[in-house]
Structure 1
């Protein structure tokens, strides 16, 4: 239960952040700093935004069209319904706090969460657009853009905002449309300030941290930071003083709030920007480095798995060619059929065997074709008792795993056992768990079916692949029981 609550909390976290942001803006707009107003604003918005929480969570538990319909119902349908009720029921219209601004906050938060969730599930390349979208650079730039847009909207709501302080924290989108030139007059100036802040972040990340701290150590990093503060603060402050908003009154938008670009407080602000951004950048760099290391490990694992799968192919091919050679020596009419079966098996090995996952029904058919090929050789010398699973088309697994057990049963069992003999094979499904049992006879002087030739084939190959692809999701038993060798493999499958 604790794990489920934690998962639900993480899913709803962005919507809760949107709620708090909207509630804070509403509370500040009242200019009544008391606990009753604070709790009332937060409580009412929580009640009004409850459908966002519900629909966001329900959409996160589904996929495809159902998820989209639930999301649209919550984030499009509910605001439209609320707007209709506000115009038809005057009492509701006076009570309602949730406006388009809060709806936009909730929608953006939900969309960003789904983008993040999608990014975590899909394997991304180094140039993936979604990787760039979720990069720290983009997020910082987006945050600064939203800050510039928000502050410009707040300035627009108040006449002569540099004089009439404090400002009401309200953004009126209808007013923005009506007074678009004035809004753009405010927006470009705050965008310039945002560009300066982004420049501090960019220089800190790509010059101070990556080129000095990461390569040369702490002392060059501190020295470089100090030089940047002393050389950067004054000319940038002088540049920002040229903005029209800073020429209205004695009050300015600089950290020093005056017309002195040499004021030490401007340099102190640059210092605090570096101070607060450095831990965030370092944490993100560490996460990115861990992701790159994990990606390298996955690539190495995939390469090893491909090598292991390729090792199965020659083993099977040589055994089958030996069988075909024996039939040709006997001038058996079964030889053409064996060639046809062999071609089909090799086709599966070459094309399907290189995939990460194949359908269980295809892998079962591969085993059946292999047994059909072997029955051409042994005819009445060996009886095959087989049980096959139902609903195998619902599940998938790594290819060419099960055949290793069957090949060993023939190589180390049937070929060396006294004839006639019997090979028992049983595959069954218990929900998503596959149980594969194989029991074959062994001769009195025959050795256990292990890798006697030290070529990396057989059961050691199987154990290695299982440890790489089904870690903690499989169980393999292989042991001698009297005159028979018994192998039992359990593994958890994934749905198709």
Structure 2
């Protein structure tokens, strides 16, 4: 069953309940024999008023509120409501003599007062539902804009650090410079083609990370020991792009020194519908650099995780005098 069909069924059931339940629970009037629900609902009076309420609900929802109220055409909004009230009054006026118990029942189930009550309830419900949907659409647009902004901040940060790596190789005239450029080319191709997507293949994301780690290996001295391991049970899953790399990048940014021995350990364990990323690095002295964007990648990634995997992720950070480690669990369903 498609979502559209499901919504139509819900609307039909809701209208059936809205029109029939008040009749089902109406009290029996003295001096009048009780009528069955089916016989009660067969009155043309009931169906005519019910049909008007249905038409008014959708006209108010799609035209009066969305087009006039949210479009700030308040004069058209007021005139449209007055027109609907006039049509409602006219229908009640010409059908009142045909009500099952006459036209002087007041606020009883078939009286004109009851129809006014149903009209007001219909207006309030359609207005509330329209406001809720408008709020939901606005929230989704704001969320997508915010996520795009965060990704736009993160990607140049990756490029900055990667170019620094290749620059270091070029300065030392390393034989691996060409290989590094090829890897960077693959990374940038992935960035350009996939960054705008909400979800990407986990296989492609892991390949991107592997290229990044191998690129870092090329410029490291023997003072840095790098351990990188990926275990996969189900690689055919999707993930938000660039959601893992900032934690790995952070380890290379703050766990590498030309004067001290250090270790960087990266382990990715992919299950059937979840995954675990563990990154650990030795804490070494790193000369502060105002252009490094300290904490930018991690801060933005935490924000993205909150937006995209609110109740489906967990981060554990361990910070001791010698080591810094991060464990990120993601439910990929």
TM-score by length of 1: 0.50
**Aligned positions of 1:410-429 closer than 5 A:** 410-414=252-256, 416=257, 418-429=259-270
Show the 5 A alignment for 1:131-280. 133=8, 139=12, 194=47, 197-199=50-52, 201-203=54-56, 231-235=90-94, 254-255=98-99, 269-280=111-122
2:299 is aligned with 1:460? yes
Matched residue, 2:160: 318
> Tell me, which stretches of 5 or more residues in structure 1 are unaligned?
1-113, 120-129, 148-165, 171-188, 239-253
The equivalences for 1:339-488 within 5 A come to 339-378=181-220, 380-414=222-256, 416=257, 418-429=259-270, 431-444=272-285, 457-488=296-327
Partner of 1:36: none
Give the C-alpha shift of residue 381 in structure 1.
Answer: 4.3
| TM-aligned CA distance change 1:299 to 1:135, over 3 Å | farther
SS in 1 for 2:280: strand
What RMSD over aligned residues (CA atoms) do the two structures have, in Å?
Answer: 4.5
Deviations 1:202-228 (A, max 9, x none): 457757xx68x9979xxx9x9999866
Provide closer, same or farther for how the CA distance between residues 325 and 278 of structure 1 changes in structure 2, counting only shifts above 3 A: same
Shift in Å at residue 277 of structure 1? 4.2
CA distance in 2, matches of 1:457, 1:204: 49
Give deviations 1:142-175, integer Å, cap 9, x for gaps.
Answer: 96xxx9xxxxxxxxxxxxxxxxxx99x79xxxxx
Cα offset, 1:406, TM superposition: 1.0
Q: SS where residue 195 of structure 2 aligns?
A: helix
Q: 1:489 aligns with which of 321, 325, 328?
A: 328
> How far has the Cα of 1:278 moved from its partner?
3.0
Q: Distance in 2 between matches of 1:379 and 1:274?
A: 83
How much has 1:333 moved relative to structure 2? 2.8
**Long gaps (5+) in structure 2:** 21-34
Normalising by structure 2, we get a TM-score of 0.71
Q: For 1:433 and 1:204, how far apart are their aligned partners in 2? A: 44
Q: 2:278 & 2:7 partners in 1: Cα distance?
A: 48
Answer 1 or 2: which has greater helix percent: 1
Deviation per residue, 1:291-332 (Å, 9 max, x gap): 321222122112111111121111110111112222223333
Q: CA deviation at 1:428?
A: 1.6
1:478·1:486 contact (CA, 8 Å) conserved in 2? yes
Largest Rg, 1 or 2: 1
Which structure carries more relative contact order (alpha carbon 8 Å, separation 6+)?
Answer: 2
Answer yes or no: is the 8 Å Cα contact 1:437–1:486 preserved in 2: yes
Bigger proportion of residues as strand: 2
**How much has 1:401 moved relative to structure 2?**
1.3
